[in-house]
Structure 1
């Protein structure tokens, strides 16, 4: 019996040492705007796999999936962690003047980011007409990490 339990215990420990929990995920959706802004929903998982629903003005309209370069999820996770994402207000829109003081630009797209880990989930929506340099930097960093120019933006 002991010979069976030791390898089983080692296997269980190895399973706990993975880089991400199977429930971890980053979800990003953008759009619409007054114009031809990409409208899409993206899910990225710790194994650097993505699922993309390109709804309008995207490279591929409809569902697509694939693998991002190795370490893309970790890069995105690190950006969210550095931004202290779980402490950000959920609402960067006109209805929250504390983080979206006027005057705002109109007809801009919005972005919604949901970060799910074993400790919970948090969603932040930013209307991109609100001046929020921290959100602009986060959006740009996330886009770079998942390859926005390659998988979302029309060619």
Structure 2
């Protein structure tokens, strides 16, 4: 009887913890503890009026938006998203998350390759885990795979920050 109770407790615990861990194929099947990481998404200037801002969000949906240039909100603004919004944002970025270290799609690098467009903005994404480990992706929008550029550009749409960014017709 005791072994049955211990077994049921283990199953219940595993079920409880399963919401906190995701196995991500892009990380070689290693589990990622989503409940203990933050994502920072930061845009850089272009030659023009592209919004320049940084947003940091935690799995519970708590976040900060920092408007720097050409945004409706300048300075730091706290916001609360749903955990589902965080997970949607994280899922849009997940296919491009480096397994470890960093990936740089910048002018002059091999990853950028092919034809390039000048004067475009870039985006810098950092996933920070509670353990201190982090992964870093920097993409210049003038090069790199189109699907990646589209996914990274639209990722903030999953978060309730559109009013902070401002005019949706302005290039990102």
> TM class by shorter-chain length?
0.7 to 0.9
Give deviations 1:58-81, integer Å, cap 9, x for gaps. 110111011124411111222233
Is 1:111 the equivalent of 2:123? yes
Matched residue, 2:56: 43
Query: Which residue among 128, 133, 139 is the counterpart of 2:141?
Result: 128
TM-score, L = length of structure 1:
0.76
Q: CA 1:93–1:37 in 2, change beyond 3 Å: closer, same or farther?
A: same
Is 1:30 the equivalent of 2:43? yes
After superposition, the CA RMSD in angstroms is 2.9
Matched residue, 1:7: none
Matched residue, 1:79: 92
What SS is found at the alignment partner of 2:98? helix
99-108 vs 16-25, which moves further: 16-25
Alignment gaps of 5+ in structure 1? 1-12
TM-score, L = length of structure 2:
0.69
23-32 vs 139-148, which moves further: 139-148
Number of matched pairs: 142
Q: In the TM superposition, what is the alpha-carbon distance from 1:57 to its structure 2 partner?
A: 0.5
Q: CA 1:143–1:21 in 2, change beyond 3 Å: closer, same or farther?
A: closer
Q: CA 1:118–1:58 in 2, change beyond 3 Å: closer, same or farther?
A: same
133-142 vs 28-37, which moves further: 133-142
Give deviations 1:14-52, integer Å, cap 9, x for gaps. 9x8464666410100002011111111110111111101
Matched residue, 1:3: none
Alignment gaps of 5+ in structure 2? 1-12, 21-32
100-109 vs 143-152, which moves further: 143-152
Matched residue, 1:96: 109
